[in-house]
Amino acid sequence: MVFNTFAGLQLGRILMPGATFLVPGVEQAVAYDVRTRVWEFTNLASPRKASGAIAVIASDGQSFTLDANVVLRPNPETLDELHARLGENYLTTAVVPVVRSKLRDVSARFKSEDFYRQEKRREIEQEATDLMNQEMPMVERNGTKTPLILIEGVLLETANFPEALKASIEKKQVAAILAQTAGVKAQIQAKETERVLILAKAEERAIELKGRAAALGAQLADLLFYERLQARIAAAQAAKQPSPLRIVRIEGDSTVFLNLDPQQAALTRRAP
């Protein structure tokens, strides 16, 4: 941007990097670093420190402090308005109050233990980034609102919990892990019980099939016996000889055969 000794700040005149002619003694360039920078909100000494750690109150009523990093840069397209409205001290006058306020607002919607969980921390960071961008000063350019400062992200560091709260949260986490482990063990036991039942049913079915196979084997033996008997009778008839066997009695489901050859034993068949 260019500051004219007689006309003041020249709005709409933004100088890009490179060689530029200025009227000596009349025009003066005002330089802004438009590169993305990370500013820290912490109580520790740091060359990038913008402000102290942020005191917040979670939805469960627990209070603690947060160390946060805010990634931002001035909008190169609106540097003239940034200088005219906020000046070079824009970080202190505009950014710091918004960051502290919006991070408190977002933290109030989450439980204290959520700041220990990575997925919840990412959610908190994204909500805070969106709210901060909405609160950054705007300027009307070509019919649209354009921010003077771009908040590119918020990165939370470990929450500074009081020792009592920290111990309580850690106990809850341990209890949750143990409960999850017990649940997994219960699922494993249920699967093992199911496996044993399946094996028992399979064994019962196998015994049943074996019994049926044995019964079919007995029936097959009877069938072979009758086929051989029929063949002997047919052979005797073809030779015009008396049948070698004859039925002597039938009692219920039992049939008794007597071999006419005294050298052979009697055959007895019991139907299934």
13-63 residue pLDDT tens: 555 555 555 556 545 556 667 789 999 999 989 899 999 999 999 998 888
pLDDT, position 54: 93
pLDDT, position 237: 74
pLDDT band at 168 (very low <50, low <70, confident <90, very high): low
pLDDT, position 270: 42
pLDDT, position 153: 94
- Residue 56 near residue 107, CB atoms below 8 Å: yes
Torsion sign (Cα): 179, 157, 41, 84: negative
Angle between helices 118-135 and 96-107 (to 10 degrees): 140
The H-or-E segment that residue 132 falls in is helix 118-135
Residue range 176-222, pLDDT digits in tens: 545 555 666 667 777 778 877 888 888 888 787 777 777 766 666 66
Put residue 178 in one of left, alpha, beta given phi > 0 → left and psi -120 to 50 → alpha. alpha
The contacts of residue 232 (CB under 8 Å, 6+ apart) are 244, 245
The contacts of residue 37 (CB under 8 Å, 6+ apart) are 48, 71, 72, 73
How far is CA 227 from each of CA 20, 98, 110, 176, 233, rounded to the nearest angstrom? 119, 103, 88, 75, 10
Task: Report residue 165 as tokens.
Answer: 């709260």
How far is CA 183 from each of CA 123, 176, 196, rounded to the nearest angstrom? 27, 10, 20
pLDDT, position 263: 41
Residue range 108-151, pLDDT digits in tens: 999 888 888 888 989 999 999 999 999 999 988 888 899 999 99
pLDDT, position 269: 42
User: How far apart are the C-alpha atoms of 100 and 41, rounded to whole Å?
Assistant: 9
The answer, as to whether pTM is greater than 0.75, is no
pLDDT, position 1: 45
- Residue 154 main-chain phi, psi, to 5 deg: -125, 130
pLDDT, position 235: 77
Given a cut of 80, is residue 85 above it in pLDDT? yes
Given a cut of 70, is residue 264 above it in pLDDT? no
pLDDT, position 33: 78
pLDDT, position 110: 93
Task: Report residue 226 as tokens.
Answer: 């009758």
pLDDT, position 60: 86
pLDDT, position 165: 56
Put residue 20 in one of left, alpha, beta given phi > 0 → left and psi -120 to 50 → alpha. beta
Question: Measured at the alpha carbon of residue 220, what is the angle toward residues 219 and 221, in degrees to the nearest 5?
Answer: 90
5 or 141, which is more confident: 141
pLDDT, position 242: 67
Lowest mean per-residue pLDDT among 126-135, 219-228, 255-264: 255-264
Q: What is the largest CA-CA distance in the chain?
A: 149
- Residue 30 near residue 83, CB atoms below 8 Å: yes
* Secondary-structure percent of the chain, ordered helix, strand, coil, rounded to 5: 45, 25, 30
Q: Beta-carbon neighbour count of residue 199 at 10 Å?
A: 10
Given a cut of 80, is residue 167 above it in pLDDT? no
